[in-house]
């Protein structure tokens, strides 16, 4: 079986990009004024003129563009153990262990970026990680996206590619948001974790709903 897990709000209790970015900013406080350069993208997002991926790219590019890889990696090496120690649902850990004990192929599928998601995947023993890529110029961060933002219908395309890579495996997929429902419905078993009331209503009857703590 292919066991596919979303990250933010499914394995972790909260969004990961915000605390990761805050920690990186605190390590480089001179970059705080750069946040202003991302405000036009935020305005376009609020007006429905750009999507989550464009907003994410603008934020990372304007705020962290130019950082060296070793500076980013140093923060990632601190952030990931802290997140795993204090920021995961115990039920998510249990689900991972059950799938691992059954010999299932564990894949982490996240819209969050490869600045830190692959490190989380390795720390949790995932067999593969699929996430949103960011651009580098050698060792210097550019921050624009190198892949589509792994959200919504893009996760459907990722799941289809994974199924082609693992022919014959049935799929169980875990997610937490209404934007996860398209790929959860595509799986043989889709599981909505701690979904909002609207997401739970939209999930029925194809996707089962659970509460993780």
H helix count then E strand count, the chain: 9, 8
Give ∠ CA 130-57-9 in degrees, rounded to 5.
50
Are the C-beta atoms of 194 and 176 separated by less than 8 Å? yes
Q: Identify the band that residue 9 occupies on the pLDDT scale cut at 50, 70 and 90.
A: very high
Q: Identify the band that residue 33 occupies on the pLDDT scale cut at 50, 70 and 90.
A: very high
Task: Name the pTM for this structure.
Answer: 0.95
Instruction: Determine the angle formed by the axes of helices 17-27 and 52-64, rounding to 10 degrees.
Output: 10
Q: What percent of the chain has pLDDT over 90?
A: 99
Beta bridge partners of 172: 3, 189
Are the C-beta atoms of 186 and 159 separated by less than 8 Å? yes
Q: Identify the band that residue 170 occupies on the pLDDT scale cut at 50, 70 and 90.
A: very high
Alpha-carbon separation of residue 25 from 64, 108, 145, 162, 206 (angstroms):
8, 26, 20, 35, 42
Q: What is the pLDDT of residue 123?
A: 97
Q: Give per-residue pLDDT as tens, 75-115.
A: 999 999 999 999 999 999 999 999 999 999 999 999 999 99
Q: Give me the mean pLDDT over the 162-178 stretch.
A: 95
CATH of the domain at 44: 3.40.50.1000
Q: Do the bridges between strand 2-5 and strand 171-175 make them parallel or antiparallel, or are there none, so unpaired?
A: parallel
Query: CA 68, CA 89: separation in Å to the nearest integer?
Result: 32
- Residue 116, domain extent: 2-210
Alpha carbon 77 to chain centroid, angstroms:
17
The answer, yes or no, to whether the previous bond of 148 is cis (omega within 30 of 0) is no
Q: How many domains does the chain have?
A: 1
Closest CA to 5 of 92, 114, 115: 92
Give ∠ CA 184-185-186 in degrees, rounded to 5.
90
Are the C-beta atoms of 70 and 138 separated by less than 8 Å? no
Query: CA 73, CA 10: separation in Å to the nearest integer?
Result: 24
């Amino acid at each position: 079986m292919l066991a596919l897990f979303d990250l933010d709000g499914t394995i972790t209790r909260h969004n990961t990009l915000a605390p990761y970015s805050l920690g990186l900013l605190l390590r480089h406080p001179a970059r705080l004024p750069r946040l202003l350069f991302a405000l036009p993208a935020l305005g376009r997002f609020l007006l429905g003129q750009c999507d989550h991926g464009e907003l994410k790219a603008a934020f990372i590019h304007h705020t962290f563009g130019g950082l060296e890889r070793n500076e980013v990696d140093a923060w990632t090496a601190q952030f990931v153990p802290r997140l795993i120690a204090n920021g995961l649902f115990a039920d998510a850990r249990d689900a991972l262990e059950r799938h691992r004990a059954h010999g299932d192929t564990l894949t982490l599928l996240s819209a969050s970026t490869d600045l830190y998601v692959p490190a989380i995947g390795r720390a949790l023993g995932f067999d593969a990680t699929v996430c949103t890529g960011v651009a580098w110029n050698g060792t210097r961060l550019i921050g624009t996206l190198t892949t589509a933002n792994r959200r919504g219908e893009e996760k459907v395309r990722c799941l289809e590619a994974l199924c082609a890579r693992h022919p014959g495996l049935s799929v169980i997929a875990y997610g937490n948001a209404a934007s996860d429902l398209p790929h959860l419905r595509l799986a043989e078993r889709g599981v909505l974790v701690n979904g909002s009331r609207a997401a739970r209503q939209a999930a029925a009857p194809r996707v089962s709903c659970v509460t993780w703590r």
